[in-house]
């Protein structure tokens, strides 16, 4: 291990900052803030780059701040917490412009003109409606806590300032309950999910682990005594770590699902289903999509990768008919429930892969909200065959968004007219983007 003096230049798309050593080699630096002068110890030295972590700040950047959580350097949840929020926002927008330039083939001028000012829909702390606790075995005992930075371990924390402050004591209460339960037997758990809504007052605890014997009544009672929980569920998984599949979901107490309000829509979401962790951010995504598409009553809409219906429901309110495609079984069931609860009958929920189950319709407006991997090439081709006047592409990864916009350009049908970054994940490098494409 060697120690280097480094000038931190900028943030990368990741938890680390970027510097160059005396030989010009790129160094990815954990704990650095642009404008810092630091001493950093090398963790890995490759041919073209190295990785290091800050051991001493020699001269602090004007953008360096003291975060409100004492665990940010050991917990993996807030890698950008030492960077002022204004600087975080600027770095995220710059990252989107950079991705469009390097990976999308846009000129720097065109990319900068295309990307709108970043939107900050809420506060930089206390914005999350969900946290996950890891469960590991240490010295023969189960330990429940936050994922540790850069390792497979856990960090026991009394609270998480990213979680809505109304539920400040929930993390400690759940940790205590689970430590008590695990003290007498192995529950076979891998993680514990907590979902909390300020708007509906609902709190759900989801226990993720392997099938097998389980003390259901005891677990439900202990968690119920520890928290004002409205739902306790057990999510059972099978298969290797990188290919887990849901083997079943059991309701241990309460409603068996979690409820949230997004805009004017009431939604219920089961524990395995994806839902945006920032509710105010989800509100903003919906408004940007709906404003960008302006669907009309006589128009047909398509919603690919629709999940539990975050965009499907408002689309159904405004358009004549919606074809909604989702591959994940639990989310499809949630979508059907949410449509029934909203008394919306002008939606065709389709279960399956978007490329294989691509709707046989002529859509006027389209929403796509794919996972981090982005759109498959065949989906871009099928979208380009549609007669639609506009597409709203909601992306959580600037790199795959840039790649897909280049594919749309190659097809020569749809052209992006705006990319709006939305900061759904303060204190991290992640950024959501809403891109509106119009027919050329």
Q: Which residues are catalytic?
A: 396
In angstroms, rounded to a whole number, what is the distance separating the alpha carbons of residues 123 and 263? 18
Max intra-chain CA distance, the chain: 67
Length of the chain: 440
Token digits of residue 258: 């979690």
Q: What are phi and psi of 224, to 5 degrees?
A: -65, -40
Edge-first strand order for the sheet with 49-59 is 3-7, 37-45, 49-59, 26-30, 17-20, 10-11
In angstroms, rounded to a whole number, what is the distance separating the alpha carbons of residues 298 and 185? 60
Is 369 annotated for ligand binding?
yes
Is 23 annotated for ligand binding?
no
Strands 17-20, 347-351: pairing kind: unpaired
Burial of 255 (0-12, 13-18, 19+ CB in 10 A): middle
Contacting residues for 139 by C-beta, under 8 A, at least 6 apart? none
SS3 at position 166: helix
In angstroms, rounded to a whole number, what is the distance separating the alpha carbons of residues 200 and 126? 16
Q: Output the CA torsion sign for 150, 153, 157, 160.
A: positive
Is 299 annotated for ligand binding?
no
Q: What are phi and psi of 366, to 5 degrees?
A: -135, 140
Q: Which long-range contacts (CB under 8 A, 24 or more apart) does 7-10 make?
A: 7/36, 7/37, 8/32, 8/33, 8/34, 8/35, 8/36, 8/37, 8/38, 8/61, 9/34, 10/34, 10/91, 10/94
Token digits of residue 411: 């097809």
In angstroms, rounded to a whole number, what is the distance separating the alpha carbons of residues 244 and 343? 34
Which residues define the annotated binding site for S-adenosyl-L-methionine?
Answer: 276, 305, 326, 369
Binding-site residues: 276, 305, 326, 369
């Amino acid at each position: 291990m060697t120690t280097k003096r480094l000038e931190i230049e900028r943030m990368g798309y990741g938890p680390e900052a970027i510097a160059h050593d005396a030989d010009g080699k790129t160094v990815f630096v954990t704990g650095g803030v642009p404008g810092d002068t630091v001493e950093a110890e090398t963790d890995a030295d490759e041919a073209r780059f190295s990785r290091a972590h800050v051991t001493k700040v020699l001269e602090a950047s004007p953008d360096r701040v003291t975060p409100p959580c004492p665990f940010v350097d050991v917990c993996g949840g807030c890698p950008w917490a030492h960077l002022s929020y204004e600087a975080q926002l600027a770095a995220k927008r710059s990252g989107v412009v950079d991705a469009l330039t390097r990976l999308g083939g846009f000129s720097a001028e065109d990319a900068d003109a295309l990307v709108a000012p970043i939107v900050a829909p809420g506060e930089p702390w206390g914005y999350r409606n969900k946290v996950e606790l890891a469960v590991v075995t240490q010295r023969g005992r189960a330990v429940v806590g936050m994922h540790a930075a850069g390792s497979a371990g856990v960090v026991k924390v009394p609270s998480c300032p990213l979680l809505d402050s109304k539920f400040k004591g929930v993390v400690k209460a759940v940790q205590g309950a689970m430590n008590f339960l695990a003290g007498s037997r192995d529950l076979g758990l891998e993680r514990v999910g907590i979902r909390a809504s300020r708007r509906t007052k609902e709190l759900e605890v989801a226990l993720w682990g392997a099938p097998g014997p389980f003390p259901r009544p005891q677990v439900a009672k202990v968690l119920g005594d520890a928290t004002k929980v409205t739902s306790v569920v057990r999510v059972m998984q099978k298969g290797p770590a990188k290919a887990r599949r849901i083997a079943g979901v059991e309701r241990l107490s309460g409603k068996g699902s979690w409820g949230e309000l997004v805009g004017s829509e009431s939604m219920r979401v089961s524990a395995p289903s994806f839902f945006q962790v920032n509710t105010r951010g989800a509100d903003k995504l919906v408004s940007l999509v709906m404003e960008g598409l302006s669907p009309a009553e006589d128009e047909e809409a398509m919603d690919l990768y629709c999940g539990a219906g975050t965009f499907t429901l408002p689309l159904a309110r405004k358009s004549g008919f919606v074809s909604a495609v989702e591959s994940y079984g639990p989310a499809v069931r949630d979508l059907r429930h949410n449509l029934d609860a909203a008394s919306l009958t002008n939606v065709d929920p389709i279960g399956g892969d978007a490329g294989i189950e691509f709707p046989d319709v002529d859509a006027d407006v389209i929403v796509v909200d794919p996972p981090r991997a982005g759109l498959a090439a065949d989906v871009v081709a099928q979208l380009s065959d549609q007669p639609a006047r506009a597409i709203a592409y909601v992306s959580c990864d600037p790199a795959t968004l840039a790649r897909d916009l280049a594919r749309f350009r190659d097809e020569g049908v749809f052209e992006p007219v705006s990319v709006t970054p939305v900061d759904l994940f303060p204190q991290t490098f992640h950024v959501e983007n809403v891109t509106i494409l119009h027919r050329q």
